[in-house]
Structures are given as structure tokens and as C-alpha cells.
């Protein structure tokens, strides 16, 4: 006796299709969760050391690749004129002869006026003599005040001459490394070409990534993430800046993380990756 053909519903093609789609979705979700974004490292700060003073470079104190500390002198322009101006200002500021003479005159006029007051009180001096003595005292006091004010002006000119001299010395504003030297001794600096050297700060590095706009909200300033360098080494990076603009063409936002690099172990300009 023939039995009718039966179909097991557990093998329904629709169930197989649903299972396949579920597996594909799981793979896609897992790949998105474990996606990596490539970026690059760069110096924490890069500046072009330059001068707003014109003149020839009298002395260049650094070379490419040399480490410098904050306030180290990088280069000196010709300072002969400024040194003479400072010498004149120092001499003028320390000259107290005029003020000393004015002080002596005031003391003398004050003594004369005091004696005339005593005589006038006893009837031995006329009022006109007393008025003249007091007028001469007032004039002497005004001259002393003018001498003091003039000395203050000379001291200000002394400080100004010192500033003008200091401006001829170009100093490093932070600890860093000279990446490139643009001028040599004897070259002339002009307003159109004021650059002397490129200074970079590499004891800290910035790792820059372009993150899809839909995922940028997960990054918060100060949060640590693992960054894989080009040589395979994994380091900690702290979110330093999250861009505020989305690139219209790529739909990404710039993200920068700080990598501590105290011994200059890591180089800038290398490829790195970040899991998002």
C-alpha cells in the first residue's frame, strides 16, 4: 500500500532564507562593530619660527634634528645698532645729576622761606620778601618734580631699548625639535620671507582619523582608545578634538587623539588605525 508523500515543515525554504539573512546580518553587524579606520600621526604642534624684524642673520645656533628647550635662542640678527641704543638709554636712565641739583635747590629755598617766616613773625621782614621766597620755593619744587618725571621717562626708554634688542633674538616658544632650517648665517630676513626654522613638538603626537558622521557621537573629549601603529604596536590615545563640521563629499568628521611620546619613541607621519 502506497503511503502519501509528507513534507517536514522544518525544512521550509522560507525558513532557510530567513536563517541565511539572519547570518548575513550578524556578520555585517559584527564587521561594523569591529571596523577599523586608518589615519596618520603628526606633531602635536608645528610652527614656523620667524622674526618681525628685518636684518641679516648674525648667528644661527641650531641645526636640523636638534632638540631645543623653551626660551632657547634659535638665531640672532645683527644687534650692533640696538646695543648702542641700549647703552645710551642705560646711561641716561642712571644719570641723576639733574634731579640731585633740583633737590638741593628745593632744600635751599625751603630754608630761606622758613627763616623769612620767622623774621616776618617778629616784624623784621617785609611781606613782599616772604612772598618772593615762597614763589621761588614753588618754582624749585616744580623743577624737582619735572626732573623726577624725566627720569621715569628715561627708565621707560631704557626698557624699550632692551625690548628692541631682545626682539633681534629669536627664541623657541616650547620644547621641541628643529625639523627644518630655512635660512643660514648672513642671509637677510625681509617681511616677505621672515621664516628661519620649523619647530615641531613631538613629545606628544596627534593621531588624526576621519570618522563617519553617524559614529562620531560615541567619541568624547578625554576618553582613551587603543590605537594600532604601523609596526603593529598598540598604544593609548586620548580624544583631543572632535571636529564640528562634516565633510560633504565623504560624510566624515575629523577626530584627533593625543599619544604621549616622552622619549620620541614613535615617529610622526606614520599610518595608524583605530577600531570603531
Q: For residue range 172-225, what is the model confidence (pLDDT) as tens digits?
A: 999 999 999 999 999 999 888 899 999 999 999 999 999 999 999 999 999 999
Residue 202: predicted pLDDT: 94
Task: For strands 252-260 and 195-212, give the pairing.
Answer: antiparallel
DSSP string, 19-85: HHHHHHHHHHHHHHHT-EEEEEEEEEEEEEEE-SS-EEEEEE---TT-EE-TT-EEEEE--HHHHHH
- The strand ranges marked E within 64-217 are 67-68, 73-77, 169-171, 176-181, 188-189, 195-212
DSSP-derived 3-state class of residue 271: strand
As a whole number, the mean pLDDT across the chain is 87
3-class SS of residue 248: coil
Per-residue pLDDT, 13: 52
Q: How confident is the model at residue 34 (pLDDT cuts 50, 70, 90)?
A: low
Whole-angstrom Cα distance, residue 41 to residue 137? 75
Confidence at residue 18, expressed as pLDDT on a 0 to 100 scale: 44
Residue 64 has pLDDT above 60, yes or no: yes
Per-residue pLDDT, 30: 46
Half-sphere exposure at residue 149, Cβ-oriented, CA atoms within 13 angstroms: 6
Instruction: Read off the pTM.
Output: 0.68
pLDDT digit string, tens, across residues 111-169: 999 998 888 888 888 888 889 999 999 999 999 999 999 999 999 999 999 999 999 99
- Given a cut of 60, is residue 33 above it in pLDDT? no
pLDDT digits (tens, 9 = 90+) for 82-101: 999 999 999 999 998 999 99
- Residue 81 to residue 129: CA distance in whole angstroms: 54
Q: What is the pLDDT of residue 26?
A: 42
Average pLDDT estimate for 233-261: 94
- Position 126 scores a pLDDT of 86
pLDDT at residue 16 tops 50: no
Amino acid at each position: 500500500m502506497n503511503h502519501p508523500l509528507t513534507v517536514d515543515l522544518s525544512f521550509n525554504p522560507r525558513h532557510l532564507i530567513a536563517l541565511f539573512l539572519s547570518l548575513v546580518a550578524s556578520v555585517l553587524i559584527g564587521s561594523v562593530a569591529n571596523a577599523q579606520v586608518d589615519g596618520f600621526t603628526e606633531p602635536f604642534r608645528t610652527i614656523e619660527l620667524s622674526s618681525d624684524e628685518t636684518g641679516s642673520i648674525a648667528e644661527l645656533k641650531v641645526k636640523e634634528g636638534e632638540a631645543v628647550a623653551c626660551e632657547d635662542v634659535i638665531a640672532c640678527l645683527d644687534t650692533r645698532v640696538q646695543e648702542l641704543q641700549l647703552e645710551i638709554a642705560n646711561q641716561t636712565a642712571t644719570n641723576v645729576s639733574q634731579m640731585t641739583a633740583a633737590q638741593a635747590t628745593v632744600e635751599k629755598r625751603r630754608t630761606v622761606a622758613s627763616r623769612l617766616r620767622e623774621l616776618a613773625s617778629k616784624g623784621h621782614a617785609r611781606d613782599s620778601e616772604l612772598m618772593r621766597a615762597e614763589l621761588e620755593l614753588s618754582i624749585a619744587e616744580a623743577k624737582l618734580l619735572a626732573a623726577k618725571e624725566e627720569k621715569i621717562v628715561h627708565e621707560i626708554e631704557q626698557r624699550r631699548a632692551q625690548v628692541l634688542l631682545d626682539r633681534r633674538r629669536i627664541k623657541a616658544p616650547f620644547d621641541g625639535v628643529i625639523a627644518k632650517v630655512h635660512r643660514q648665517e648672513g642671509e637677510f630676513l625681509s617681511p616677505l620671507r621672515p621664516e628661519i626654522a620649523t619647530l615641531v613638538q613631538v613629545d606628544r603626537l596627534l593621531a588624526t582619523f576621519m570618522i563617519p558622521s553617524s559614529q562620531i557621537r560615541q567619541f568624547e573629549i578625554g576618553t582613551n582608545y587603543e590605537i594600532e601603529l604601523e609596526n603593529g604596536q598598540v598604544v593609548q590615545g586620548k580624544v583631543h578634538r572632535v571636529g564640528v563640521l562634516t565633510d560633504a563629499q565623504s560624510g566624515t568628521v575629523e577626530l584627533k587623539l593625543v599619544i604621549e611620546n616622552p622619549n620620541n619613541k614613535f615617529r610622526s607621519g606614520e599610518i595608524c588605525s583605530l577600531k570603531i
